[in-house]
Amino acid sequence: MAKTDTIKKGGIGIFALAMLNIVAVVSLRGLPAEAEYGLSSIFYYIFAAIVFLIPVSLVAAELATGWSEKGGIFRWVGEAFGPRLALVAMFMLWIEVTVWFPTALTFGSVSLAFVGPDQSWDQALAQNKFFVLGIVLAIYWIATFIALRGTDAFAKVAKWGGLIGTVIPGIVLIVLGFSYLFFSGKPPQIELSWSEVIPDFSNFNNVVLAASIFLFYAGMEMNALHVKEVDNAARNYPLAIMIAAIGTVSVFVLGTLAIAFVIPQQDISLTQSLLVAYDEMFAWAGISWASPIMASCLALGVLAMVVGWVAGPSSGLLVVAKGGYLPRFWQQTNEHGMATHIMMAQALLVTMISTVFVVLPSVQAAYQILSQLTVVLYLIMYLLMFAAAIHLRYSQPNRPRPYRIPGGNIGMWLVAGLGFIGSLIAFVFSFIPPSQISVGSPEAYIGILVALTVIFVAVPFVIYRARKPHWRDPAVTDFAPFTWEIEDMHPGVINTSDKVTHTLNS
C-alpha cells in the first residue's frame, strides 16, 4: 500500500477499506442465477449497485458514526422508531441468515458431489435430495461447533477458507472463462452484441428472477463501523465505497459471463452450473484433474462463510437480548463468550428448514424458494434502515455524525430514498414465481413465501409484547440505552441535542 493511502495512527486506508467490503460481499454461489440472462446481467448488476449497494454503504456509514454503541441495526432503527421496530429489524437479520444457510450449504453439498471423477455420476448425486440434506446438516453443525469455540477459532477458518474457497476460485473462473471465449475456437453460448446488454423489459419474467440480485450486495453495512477509523471520512469513505462497488460489480459480471460462455442457457442449473462450468473449462484446458480440487476448494469456502455468519448475527442478537429484549435464557454464553442457546436454537431451526429439500419437487425448487425468502426478510431490514436514516435527519438533526451523506437533507432523501424504493420494488417482485425455474405449483410457491414472511415478522412483535422487566440483568453494562432514553425524550419527538452519543452514558 502506498504511503499516501495509509491512514494516520494505524487507521484503515482507502484501498484496504475497499477490499474489506469486497470480501464481505463477493460470493460465487449465486452467479448461475444471473448467467441465465447472458449479457443483460451486466445491466442488472450495475442497476442494483446504483440503487442498492451504494445507498446501503453510505447510509450505514452515517448511522454507524452517529450512533456507534453496540447493537448495529437494532440501535439505528431504535433511535428512529423505538425498540419495537428495532427488534423487528434485528430479528429479520438473524432469521434471514438462518433461512439463507440451507441455500448456501446446498452449493457446498453440490461442490462435494463434484469431487468424484465421473461428471455424469456427480450430477446425479448432486440432484439427490437426501444427499444434499445430509451434507447441508453436516456442514452446518460442524460450522456451529467451530463458531462455539470463539472468535480466534472461526476467524482463522473464515480467513483461509475465504481465500482458498472464494478468491482463488473466482480468479480461476474469470481467467479460464475468458480464455475459453478467445482461444477455444468454440462459439460462446450467448450472443455477444451491445443490443443484448439492455434487457427485454416487455418480458416481465426477466425482472422477477433478477430481483434476487439485490441479495448479492447484502452485507456491506457490516463494515460501516470502520468509517470511524478512516481519516477525512467525508472524502475517503465514499471513494473507498466507489472502488469496492466497481470491484464487486466487476467480479460478479466477469464471473457470470464466464459461466454463460460455457453453459447453454437452457441447461443452467442454480445449484450445479458453476461446477459444470469448471469441469468444461478444465477439460478444454487439458487439466481435468483440477475439477475435484476446485470442488473441494469451493466446499471449504462455503464452510468458512457459514462459520463467520453463524457467529455474527447471533452475537448481535445476544447484545439485544442482554439489553432486556429477550428472556435471560437467550442471554446464556459459554466460556468463549458465544451465544450458546441462540446458536443452538438457530442450528435446530436450520435443520427444520432444510427438510424443505425433501418436500419440494426438486432441489432447485427448494433452493429458489429459500433464496427468495432470504431476500424478502433481508429487504424488510433494509427498508427499516433506510427509513430510519431519513427520520433521524429530522428527529435528531444536531446529533454529531463524523460521516454525513453530503447535500443536506436533500442528499439523504436522494440516497436513502433511492435505496428504499429499490428495496421495495425488489421486495414486491420477490413474491412472483420465476417462469425460468420449476417451482411446482405457483400458488404453493407464493403461499409458502407469504406465510413464512408473516410468521417471521410476527415473532418479534409477540416477543416485544411479552417482554418482562426481569429480562434485563442489572449486572449487564455493555448495552447502552438509546439517546432519547438518556435525554428523557421520545423517538417520535424532535430532539435538538448536539451531544456525541458515546458521551451521554458516561
Q: Cβ distance 481 to 505 under 8 Å?
A: yes
Picking from 2-6, 23-27, 159-163, 434-438, which range would have the lowest pLDDT averaged per residue? Answer: 2-6
Find the mean pLDDT for residues 60-72: 84
- Tens of pLDDT, residues 193-225: 777 777 776 666 666 656 667 777 877 776 665
Q: Tell me the C-alpha distance between 355 and 358, whole Å.
A: 5
Residue 292 pLDDT class (50, 70, 90 cuts) = confident
d(CA 144, CA 389): 34
How far apart CA 28 and CA 26 sit, in angstroms, is 7
Taking residue 15's Cβ as centre, other Cβ atoms within 10 Å add up to: 16
**Position 376 pLDDT exceeds 80:** yes
Can you give the pLDDT at residue 418?
A: 95
Confidence band (pLDDT; 50, 70, 90) for 458? very high
| Among 94-103, 214-223, 324-333, the least confident range | 214-223
Instruction: State which H helix or E strand residue 473 sits in.
Output: none
Mean pLDDT for the stretch of residues 227-251: 77
**Percentage of the chain lying above the pLDDT 70 cut:** 83
* Model confidence pLDDT, tens digit, residues 464-491: 999 998 898 777 766 788 899 888 888 8
Mean pLDDT of 417-432: 90
- pLDDT confidence of residue 91: 94
Q: In whole angstroms, how far apart are CA 290 and each of 106, 296, 412?
A: 21, 10, 49
Q: Please, what's the b/e burial string for 134-171 (b: 16 or more CB within 10 A of its CB; e: otherwise)? A: ebbbebbeebbebbbbeeebbeebbeebbebbbbebbe
Q: How confident is the model at residue 6 (pLDDT cuts 50, 70, 90)?
A: very low
Decide: 178 and 281 in contact? Cβ < 8 Å. no
Question: What string of DSSP letters covers 344-357?
Answer: HHHHHHHHHHHTHH
* C-alpha span between 258 and 262 (Å, rounded): 7
Hey, what domains does the chain have and what are their CATH numbers?
A: 14-503 (1.20.1740.10)
The helix (H) or strand (E) run that includes residue 149 is none
478 half-sphere exposure, CB direction, 13 A CA radius: 10
Asked whether the beta carbons of 254 and 172 are under 8 A apart, the reply is no
Question: At residue 83, does pLDDT exceed 70?
Answer: yes
H helices of 148-228, in order, are 151-162, 168-183, 204-210, 213-216
Q: Give the mean model confidence (pLDDT) for residues 349-362.
A: 73
Residue-level pLDDT at 359: 61
Is 90 exceeded by the pLDDT of residue 415? Answer: yes
Greatest mean pLDDT among 145-154, 218-227, 257-266: 257-266
% helix / strand / coil in the chain, to the nearest 5?
75, 0, 25
pTM of the model: 0.82
pLDDT at 225: 57
What's the average model confidence in pLDDT over 138-153? 83
Q: What confidence category does residue 340 fall into, taking pLDDT thresholds of 50, 70 and 90?
A: very high
For residues 267-277, average pLDDT: 73
Question: Residues 162-180: pLDDT tens digits?
Answer: 778 877 888 899 999 899 8
pLDDT of 411 above 80: yes
Per DSSP, helices labelled H in 193-325 are 204-210, 213-216, 233-262, 273-285, 290-320
User: Which residues fall within 8 angstroms of residue 142, CB to CB, at 6 or more apart?
Assistant: 303
**Pick the residue with more confidence: 158 or 257?**
257
Residue 8: the pLDDT is 41
Answer for the pair 162, 301: CB distance below 8 angstroms, yes or no. yes
Residues 21-54 pLDDT 10s? 776 677 777 787 777 777 888 888 888 888 988 8
Average pLDDT over residues 220-235: 67
Q: How many CB atoms lie within 10 A of CB 493?
A: 8
List the one residue out of 429, 246, 285, 305 whose CA is nearest residue 29. 305
In which band, very low, low, confident or very high, does the pLDDT at 310 lie, cut at 50, 70 and 90? confident
Position 112 scores a pLDDT of 73
